[in-house]
Amino acid sequence: MSTDRYVSPLSERYASKEMQYIFSPDMKFRTWRRLWIALAETEKELGLPITQEQIDELKAHKDDINYDVAKERERQVRHDVMSHVYAYGVQCPKAKGIIHLGATSCYVGDNTDIIVMTEALKLVKKKLVNVIAELAKFAEKYKDLPTLAFTHFQPAQPTTVGKRATLWMQEFMLDLEDLNYVLSTMKLLGSKGTTGTQASFLELFDGDQETIDKIDPMIAEKMGFKQCYPVSGQTYSRKVDTRVVNILAGIAASAHKFSNDIRLLQHLKEVEEPFEKSQIGSSAMAYKRNPMRSERIASLSRFVMVDAMNPAITSATQWFERTLDDSANKRLSVPEGFLAIDGILDLCLNVVDGLVVYPKVIEKRLRSELPFMATENIMMDAVKAGGDRQELHERIRELSMEAGKTVKVEGKDNNLLELIAADPAFNLTLEELEGKTRLSQYALKILLEASLSAGIILIDKDSDRYTISKTGWFLLTDAATRVNIDFNHDVNYQGLFYLDEALETGKPAGLKTLGNWPTIYEGLSQLSPQVLESWLHFDHFYSDHSFDKALGIVFSKDTKHLMD
């Protein structure tokens, strides 16, 4: 490594060898030679006097670039394309007269740019899919670990660690959709001459337009593309570069959001990015475990998001059929955008693969906030016992402020339940209030909501029947066992009717009715086995739905015999 000149940290520190090769001189100039071979073959097949011997000679030297000859020639003529035409001709004396025949510099330059960006997008797609897959594993592993959610970075209703990961996944999935679309629309420039009119080919083929129209499709096929852009100036539209780098900027935005969340969670000591055994967090504070990978993701992501301005401005400021003020900017903005996003995705994969979760810390923070979250249910119960809703709402607000002061000013535990129990307006004992904040109830609520949001519980049309996803029911029953939930007491039968209604209509939106949580926990115990049995055996359950087995699972072991 040279130590007396600037070296880009993108190549030295961040980007992979695979991405660096795509933007390497070898890739560039070998692609130029492949394009010259494709052009010569096409012209030969369309009737120009080019021999197979000449083409074979070109193919024999397509990979062994004589850089020294090209460099010396460029020093003399100050033109990179003609320097390499000359260098190729030195190696291929029999074919030198037909190299670059009828083409302009953009034939090799622009077509190579398209090929290089296409290959780079394919590598980005591969890495993006790997990140999404790793996040999916993480989400599955922690799908039933309740955690405090935050809005405005203030405590909100619970979610699960796995559900939160699906938010990151969804952002990356949107990026993948955009990437797939842009990748599917990539086309070559073709060989359209100095202003996009193919005037030189009109001369070569004596004005035979029918033959000339075959040139671009034949070149595209030889280079592995379906087609060329139908019209152009001298170059392909620089709008293509804008679209491509915008994809990178979108991925960078998603990665930045993900890395910010990890940094905040690491501050809360709930989640931690990988930390090597001998890693040093601070030169001064030896105890520190800084989220340096996530910080690096954020730093590189800002670079890529800002970089998207370069091709946008370049595209907007091109004059007529072309100007050369795009060239120097493109040499920097496009490769560096790809090299940076490559490093970002490698870092994301590393972070997700090594994330450490601390359930005890998560549970402690969730428990500390549960009394506040239970206030709506507490108020409903107090109203049913004869209280005034508006007066109770005001009392809960006042008591919540008092409890908050106890926590924040005095540094004591949350005493909201004790304050409510001591208030005669609620007519509830401390034992009853504590029952309202059982973690298992909140766990069930969180699990159901997380499952719905993540699309695990689905309505699928299968053989003209709507069915609840087996995966969804397995997730709920398996998770319920782990948090010791008894479905007989923690799932309201009305909620199951809502599910049935959703099945009948075939509308997944019907499942959202489960969000009516004040009634979800009333339980099934009020229903006698005889009522349950008669309800379960309604004809429509068997004739229209595959729902009977699911009900048998949901009603748990006490009523499961009804389905035997």
More confident residue, 117 or 563: 117
Cα Rg of the chain, angstroms: 33
Q: What is the pLDDT of residues 95-120, one digit of tens each?
A: 999 999 999 999 999 999 999 999 99
Average pLDDT over residues 320-327: 92
Residue 369 has what pLDDT?
Answer: 83
pLDDT of amino acid 429: 86
Task: With cut-offs at 50, 70 and 90, classify the pLDDT of residue 491.
Answer: very low
- The C-alpha atoms of residue 58 and residue 33 are separated, in whole angstroms, by 8
pLDDT at position 279, please?
Answer: 52
Environment class of residue 545 by beta-carbon count within 10 Å: exposed (0-12), middle (13-18) or buried (19+)?
middle
Query: Which has more confidence, 447 or 401?
Result: 401
Specify the higher pLDDT residue, 213 or 519.
Answer: 213
The residue-averaged pLDDT of 2-7 equals 87
Q: Is the pLDDT of residue 43 over 90?
A: yes
Instruction: State residue 368's pLDDT score.
Output: 83
Which residues are CB-contacts of 139 (< 8 A; sequence separation ≥ 6)?
A: 162, 163, 165, 166, 169, 454
pLDDT at 381 over 90: no
Q: What is the DSSP letter of 10?
A: I
- Averaged over 381-402, what is the pLDDT? 89
Phi-psi region of 473 (alpha: psi -120 to 50; beta: other; left: phi over 0): alpha
CA 120/CA 133 separation, integer angstroms: 20
pTM, entire model: 0.76
Closest CA to 100 of 160, 149, 25, 32: 32
- Confidence check: pLDDT of 54 > 90: yes
Low-confidence winner among 251-265, 286-300, 348-362, 407-421 (lowest mean pLDDT): 286-300
Q: Does position 556 have pLDDT exceeding 80, yes or no? A: no
| pLDDT score of 479 more than 70 | no
Measured CA distances, 178 to 124, 132, 245, 247, 313 (Å)? 12, 15, 11, 7, 21
* pLDDT in the model for residue 79: 94
Spell out the SS3 assignment of 462-493. ECCEEEECHHHHHHHHHHHHHCCCCHHHHCCH
Q: For the residues 30-51, what does the mean pLDDT come to? A: 97
Per-residue pLDDT for 319 more than 80? yes
Q: How confident is the model at residue 320, as a pLDDT?
A: 95
Render pLDDT for 160-212 as a digit per residue (tens, 0 to 9).
Answer: 999 999 999 999 999 999 999 999 999 999 999 999 999 999 999 999 999 99
- What pLDDT digit, counting tens, does each position of 432-444 carry? 887 666 654 454 4
Position 562 pLDDT exceeds 70? no
User: With 60 as the cut, is the pLDDT of residue 247 above it?
Assistant: yes
State the amino acid at position 224 in one-letter form.
Answer: G
Q: CA-to-CA distance for 318 and 308, rounded, in angstroms?
A: 16
Q: Which range, of 194-198, 216-220, 222-226, 477-481, averages the lowest pLDDT?
A: 477-481
pLDDT above 80: residue 451:
no
Query: Which two tokens mark 37?
Result: 């071979």
pLDDT (tens digit per residue) in 255-285: 999 999 999 999 999 999 987 655 555 445 5
Which residues are annotated as catalytic?
A: 152, 282
pLDDT: which is higher, 189 or 502:
189
Query: Which has more confidence, 476 or 377?
Result: 377
User: Which range among 208-217, 507-516, 521-530 has the greatest average pLDDT?
Assistant: 208-217
pLDDT band at 144 (very low <50, low <70, confident <90, very high): confident
Which range among 50-64, 103-117, 145-159, 273-287 shows the weakest confidence by mean pLDDT?
A: 273-287
Residue 351 pLDDT > 80:
yes
Three-state SS for 59-81 is HHCCCCCCHHHHHHHHHHHCCHH
Residue type present at position 287: Y
Average pLDDT over residues 361-369: 88
Least confident of 52-61, 189-198, 465-474: 465-474
More confident residue, 238 or 478: 238
User: When comparing pLDDT for 536 and 208, which is higher?
Assistant: 208
Mean pLDDT of all residues in 215-226: 97
